[in-house]
Amino acid sequence: MTSTSIILKTFRLAWKSLVANPTRSFLTMLGIIIGSLTIVIVVALGQGAKKEIEQQYSSLSVTTILINAPSTVEGAKSKLSYKDVSELTPIQSLLIVVPQLSGRVQMQYQGNSSNLAVLGTDPGFQTLANLNLLQGRFFTSEDDEQRNKVVVLGAVVAEELFGSRTADVVGKSIMVGKKEYQVIGLLEYKGGTVGPTTIDDSIFTPYSVANRYILGINGRFNINAQAKDVASIPTAIDEISTVLRQSHNLKPGMNDDFRVRDMGTTVSSAVGSSRTMAILLAAVGIVVLLVGGIGIMNIMYVTVTERTKEIGIRKAIGAKEEHILIQFLFEALIMSLLGYIIGIIFSFLVYYLLIKFEISAIAVWWSYFLSLAVTLGIGTFFGYYPAQKAAKLNPIDALRYE
Amino acid sequence: MSNPLLQLKDIRKSYEISGTLYPVLQGIDLQINRGDFIALMGPSGSGKSTLLNIIGCLDTPTSGQYLFDSTDVSRFSSSKLAEIRNRNLGFIFQNFNLIPNLSVLENVLLPGFYLGQENISKAHELLNLLGLDQKLNRRPNELSGGQRQRVAIARSLLNNPDLILADEPTGALDSKTGQEIMNIIVQLNQKDKKTILMVTHDRNIAKMAHRIINLSDGKIT
Ligand SMILES: Nc1ncnc2c1ncn2[C@@H]1O[C@H](COP(=O)(O)OP(=O)(O)O)[C@@H](O)[C@H]1O
Ligand SMILES: [Mg+2]
């Protein structure tokens, strides 16, 4: 008889003694079931959150730099202004610098009326935000200089006002606030935001138009820039700060009245914090598994005591310590493994429910292995001591036990 | 012609109970030859089971020398002792000591499992011989006392041991069934040439052995 078949037999033996007591075995496995399920689901949730964040920022390249006035400085009105755009434009490490004047306003086309976002900016914004046109054109510098009342629509705006994301809109006139504007272009659906702006929910006009006719001082002003490349981001941020402090007449020691952030850092810190959350939750899963392991250990101790006589008989007819050790270790492992399998089956159900309720979750293959490894580790660890106790029993004492 | 299977030289065993030593065996010298059939008698508490367990490598003596097949096993490791129990010894207990959640066949196969040689045909042969061929898949608690003891005998014989150790094998049986079991044990000695050491307090049963040893106050008298 080979050692493989000894292992198979021992496995069968352990299995038999588990099914002999199904209720107890199931209750013992409960901790493992919940623990392995938790790990898999938590990883799926973490992955879902990460994907969502990445999608949210996908329209921006990592070289994008956002400059805004912190809203916390209440009362002291920020000096960040349109003038700063021309101050920043000469900076070598920046490819594009554009203003962003944003706000919400009532828009109307025939019977459809909706309160939607407006963004007044420069033509460079199209490159910066990587916008693709479905129809028509983006506005130009002439539009800006001549304050032409032209707008480019985001996909969702077209849907709201014209009933479809791909409606024929170029050449149509819409009411923005109290004035009439001509639609010159329609953007592809994008998904995601640029700073405070959700591309698809916005209309885009030249800065001068938004400033004079639509938003004025009610708009939120900030500046977007794009660095030449990733390597020049730190230099660019430094230079922006220097220029703005000068332009705002800030003395050394005074706090900045503006904030400069680069997208790369922002995205990675958002991803980082969602990862921290996932790790935290995974830790909860591991703690649940640990508690499950302690449950297994307790029941194994009870089992060993109950079966002292059997252990004595086995030893009398020639079982060595390692035979008994393996037998009981297998029982612990089978319980863990079974608990894991049941846990994974339940995880499919939970996953299905998450998706159904539109909670972002993405199943990841390695989470199943992680969960399996932790489960088996815990089964071995907590099964070992009771199994060891069984193996070390003195045959005579065990035989006498009633 | 003497052909010693085992020799005990000044074997002593004492138990310590809360600091006090209670001597049970106080210098046992004994030689058992191949083919012997020995009955061990003595009053209750005289140490018969203790002696049998030491010979059966289930227990170790406090002092003294135990030669099994010319090898001193009194200081063997638990693993080595398990091997001797598995290959060379067969146990028959008063209360049968079958494993309740295993079938008759599985119980009989168990010594082969620990030997690493699963001998199914031998198990069938033994169970046939002992009239249990209809009970292979029964649990022990579905059998009568005599049937259980026959299962235990089959189990003790599976690995073809040199020595059969029986501790009051008829103690839990009525006299008729006890007689049947004794007939089997006598056959084992006469036909199969097994060496047998049997504890009993029944003089009529002891008479079936070649030799009777009396134990009293931890000594052979
Ligand atoms: N593990 C033990 N611890 C303490 N005393 C024991 C132990 N095993 C046996 N004894 C004592 O040793 C003596 C002999 O026991 P035993 O060999 O079972 O006697 P017998 O089989 O002749 O009736 C008894 O007094 C018993 O109480
Ligand atoms: Mg006794």
Pick the last residue of a domain from A223, A245, A262: A262
The answer to whether residues A194 and A282 belong to one domain is no
Count of domains for chain A: 2
Last residue of one domain, picked from the residues A262, A280, A297: A262
Say which of B82, B87, B118 has its CB closest to residue A315. Answer: B82
- The DSSP secondary-structure symbol of A188 reads P
Tell me the nearest-neighbour CA distance from B1 into chain A, angstroms. 31
Instruction: Please name the residue of chain A whose CA is at the shortest distance from the CA of residue B54.
Output: A396
Option in B79, B100, B155 nearest A317 (CB): B155
Q: A76 and A46 share a domain?
A: no
Mean pLDDT score, A11-31 = 83
Q: Report whether residue B170 contacts ligand 1, using a CB cutoff of 6 Å.
A: no
Confidence of residue A192 (pLDDT cuts 50, 70, 90): low
Q: Tell me the pLDDT tens digit for each residue of A353-392.
A: 999 988 888 998 999 998 999 889 988 999 999 999 999 9
**Cα distances (Å, whole numbers) of residue A401 to A51, A318, B57, B90:** 60, 18, 18, 20
Q: Would you state the pLDDT for residue A358?
A: 82
Task: Please give the distance, rounded to the nearest whole angstrom, from the Cα atom of residue A214 to the centre of ligand 1.
Answer: 104
The answer, yes or no, to whether any atom of ligand 1 lies below 6 A from the CB of B20, is no
Q: What is the DSSP string of A258-321?
A: SEEEEHHHHHHHHHHHHHHHHHHHHHHHHHHHHHHHHHHHHHHHHHHHHTHHHHHHHHHTT--H
CA A382 to chain B, closest CA, distance in angstroms equals 24
Task: Spell out the alpha helix ranges (H) of A141-232.
Answer: 141-145, 155-162, 207-209
Q: Are A224 and A98 spatial neighbours (Cβ–Cβ below 8 Å)? A: yes
Write the pLDDT tens digit of every residue in B78-110.
Answer: 999 999 999 999 999 999 999 998 999 999 999
pLDDT digits (tens, 9 = 90+) for A56-100: 666 667 788 888 887 654 445 567 888 888 888 888 889 999 999
Q: Does the C-beta of B3 come closer than 6 Å to ligand 1?
A: no
Indicate the residue of A6, A16, A395 with minimum beta-carbon distance to B101. Answer: A16
Residue identified by tokens 């600091």 is B19
Rounded to the nearest 10°, the torsion over CA A180, A181, A183, A188 is: -110
- pLDDT at position A46: 85
A21 chain-B contacts, CB cut-off 8 A: none
What's the pLDDT score for residue A71? 63
Specify the ligand 1 atom closest to the Cα of B48. Answer: 22
Q: What pLDDT is recorded for position A197?
A: 65
Comparing alpha-carbon positions, the chain B residue that sits nearest to A19 is: B101
A9 and A80 fall within a common domain: no
Over residues B5-21, mean pLDDT = 93
The pLDDT of residue B107? 96
User: Domain check: are A42 and A134 in the same one?
Assistant: no
Check residue B5 and give its pLDDT. Answer: 94
H/E segment holding residue A12: helix A3-19
Distance A56 CA to ligand 1 centre (A): 80
Report chain A's mean pLDDT, rounded to a whole number.
86
Q: Are residues A254 and A307 in the same domain?
A: no
User: Binning pLDDT at 50, 70 and 90, where does residue A1 land?
Assistant: very low
**Stretch among A144-158, A274-288, B204-218 having the lowest mean pLDDT:** A274-288
Atom of ligand 1 nearest to the CA of B51: 17
For residues A323 and A342, state if they share a domain. Answer: yes
Judge: A1–B110 Cβ closer than 8 Å, yes or no: no
Q: Alpha helix locations (H) across chain B?
A: 48-55, 78-88, 104-115, 120-129, 145-157, 175-190, 203-206
B171 has pLDDT over 80: yes
Domains and CATH numbers, chain B: 6-102+160-220 (3.40.50.300)
**A38 and A166, same structural domain?**
no
| Residue B90 CB less than 6 A away from ligand 1 | no
Same domain, A251 and A275: no
Whether A329 contacts A387, CB under 8 Å: yes
- Pick the last residue of a domain from A213, A230, A262: A262
Would you call B114 and A396 a contact, using CB atoms and an 8 Å cutoff? no
Ligand 1 atom at shortest distance from the alpha carbon of B17: 4
The answer to whether residue A3 scores a pLDDT higher than 80 is no
pLDDT at A78: 63
Whether residue B188 is predicted with pLDDT greater than 70 in this model: the reply is yes
What pLDDT score was predicted for residue B73?
A: 93
Q: Number of residue pairs across A and B with CB atoms under 8 Å?
A: 68
The partner residue sitting opposite B111, judged by closest CB among A317, A322, A395, is A317
Judging contacts by C-beta atoms under 8 Å, the chain A residues touching residue B114 are: 314, 317-320, 323
**Domain span holding position A236:** 64-262
User: Which residues from A are below 8 Å from B112, CB to CB?
Assistant: 1
| Cα–Cα distance measured from residue A142 to residue A14, given in angstroms and rounded to the nearest whole number | 83
